[in-house]
């Protein structure tokens, strides 16, 4: 996928701005965290763009999918982790080292979203007390765990003969059920409670592919404008 879509790049930009404003000015942008949800939907859309356009979903295609994701995400991710660890060791008192080093290992093996404390306390400690400077890696860990599930989900969809068009709707409904049934912690951090958001992106791509060509540009504008309206509504 060499061609970049400007509408997707615009949505990514808005999502970044929303999250940054939420963390620096939570009083004025209390719903800016929705930017993370937007990222998950975009991720589902882009994965569908890559995998559903391939006539065959074999080991070569899946291997290339993983290679590109790992090459794009993990080198910079681990560089950030190492930089934060060095800053902790050089700039902060020894009191902060033990908890942050333990947290860094969870970030390294991509399980930062496996939480034990309550959500608000985690973020408060990270921002004010610097007790866990790797808290925010949870969202990337969710995305990487989603990538692990992607081949299973998409191969299963290919094997179906009569339910292919409603398959991802069913996946989304199961995920929503998990989200509603589990406690607040799992509902927020678990990849299974977030799959419905990735699935929404997949469904959006499939809907776009099924419309006639002359409606594609119109669909792009409606999708982009609609998400922007939701973004502004959340920030107000």
Question: For 80-119, how does the pLDDT look when each residue is reduced to its tens digit (9 = 90+)?
Answer: 999 999 999 898 888 888 888 888 999 999 999 987 665 5
Task: Read off the pTM.
Answer: 0.83
Distances (CA, A) of 170 to 137, 147, 222: 29, 19, 25
* pLDDT of amino acid 149: 93
Tracing tokens 């927020």 back to the chain, one arrives at 188
Percent of the chain with pLDDT over 90: 34
Question: For 117-165, how does the pLDDT look when each residue is reduced to its tens digit (9 = 90+)?
Answer: 655 555 665 656 677 888 889 999 999 999 999 988 988 888 886 777 7
Q: Which residues have CB under 8 Å from 13's CB, separation 6+?
A: none
Distances (CA, A) of 77 to 72, 110, 133, 154: 9, 10, 14, 26
Question: For 206-232, how does the pLDDT look when each residue is reduced to its tens digit (9 = 90+)?
Answer: 887 666 544 555 555 555 555 555 555
Alpha carbons 185 and 5: distance in angstroms, whole number: 35
Q: Which residues have CB under 8 Å from 106's CB, separation 6+?
A: 112, 114, 134
Contact 126, 110 (CB under 8 A): no
Which region among 65-69, 163-167, 197-201, 229-233 has the lowest average model confidence (pLDDT)?
Answer: 229-233
* pLDDT of amino acid 213: 47
């Amino acid at each position: 996928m060499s061609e970049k879509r400007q509408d997707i790049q615009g949505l990514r930009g808005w999502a970044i701005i929303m999250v940054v404003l939420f963390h620096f000015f939570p009083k004025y942008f209390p719903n800016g965290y929705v930017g993370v949800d937007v990222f998950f939907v975009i991720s589902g859309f882009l994965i569908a763009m890559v995998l559903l356009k391939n006539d065959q979903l074999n080991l070569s295609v899946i291997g290339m999918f993983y290679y590109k994701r790992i090459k794009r995400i993990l080198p910079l991710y681990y560089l950030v982790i190492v930089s934060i660890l060095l800053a902790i060791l050089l700039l902060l008192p020894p009191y902060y080292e033990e908890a942050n080093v333990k947290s860094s290992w969870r970030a390294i093996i991509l399980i930062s979203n496996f939480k034990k404390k309550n959500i608000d306390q985690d973020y408060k400690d990270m921002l004010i007390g610097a007790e866990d400077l790797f808290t925010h890696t949870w969202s990337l860990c969710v995305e990487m765990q989603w990538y692990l599930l992607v081949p299973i989900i998409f191969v299963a969809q290919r094997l179906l003969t009569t339910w292919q068009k409603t398959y991802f709707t069913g996946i989304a409904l199961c995920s929503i059920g998990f989200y509603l049934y589990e406690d607040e912690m799992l509902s927020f951090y678990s990849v299974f409670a977030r799959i419905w958001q990735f699935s929404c992106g997949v469904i959006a791509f499939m809907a776009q592919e099924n419309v006639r060509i002359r409606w594609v540009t119109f669909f792009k504008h409606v999708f982009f404008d609609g998400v922007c309206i939701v973004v502004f509504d959340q920030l107000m």
